[in-house]
Amino acid sequence: MTGNLVNQLLLYAITLDGTELKTLLRQVEEALIGGATILQLREKNVDKDEYCRRAINVKKICDQFGVPLIIDDLVDVALHCDAAGVHIGQQDIDLASARTLLGPEKIIGVSAKNPEHAQRAEDGGADYLGVGAIYPTKTKNNPIYTSINTLKDICSIVSIPVVAIGGIKQHNIDSLSGTGIVGVAVVTGIFSAPDVSQATRDLRKKAESLFGSRDN
């Protein structure tokens, strides 16, 4: 899984929760047209039935493009729509339970803000790490920031792929070069852009130049 996953994590698009469904589906398609290599559906403020409905619709689009769908937080939603996997935070379901429910073939990403989180997640069987917030972001309330140096430290101690997240946009992505990450996770830099497809295309080009060109 790891080699293919490294390629998939180059440009990790994460949806804006609370987006009206029709708009969400249009934006997802535009992001995939623009070159997003993996997509996470993040919904913090809908009930589980609505989360499942959105996930099924988003999964259909991801399947058309051959792009993995990751579900934020909820393992049962991921199972319901047969997503590629889940991403869990430090306060969500524990990693061991998620793995038991999902099985060995599904992707599990874990949020990490420091080397201790990172090492514990790798030891527990995480497939990749999302590290941040690196820069100020409006998608989290009172985020705890992770410095570039800490990001480098995390990349140096783990063997699983690491993506940076949090306020990453076209104008600041260059600062992540040489940190050891395999890609970037982007929310508003894609889904709040006036032209989602073009914003994604620009970020994909930049990510390839910084972190290596990918086949997909």
Write out the catalytic residue numbers.
42, 111, 140
CA distance 158 to 127: 11
Q: Mention every residue, 6+ apart, whose C-beta is less than 8 A from residue 79.
A: 101, 102
Residue 133: cis peptide before it, omega within 30 degrees of 0: yes
Write down the residue that tokens 């699983």 correspond to: 160
Write down the residue that tokens 């997640």 correspond to: 121
Structure token pair of residue 105: 């073939």
Structure token pair of residue 2: 């790891």
CA distance 86 to 31: 19
Residue 40 phi, psi dihedral angles, 5° rounding: -110, 130
Instruction: Tell me how long the chain is.
Output: 216
Between the CA of residue 52 and those of 87, 88, 103, 145, 185, what are the distances in Å? 16, 17, 20, 31, 23
Strand partners, 109: 87, 128
DSSP 8-state code for residue 176: G
DSSP 8-state code for residue 43: -
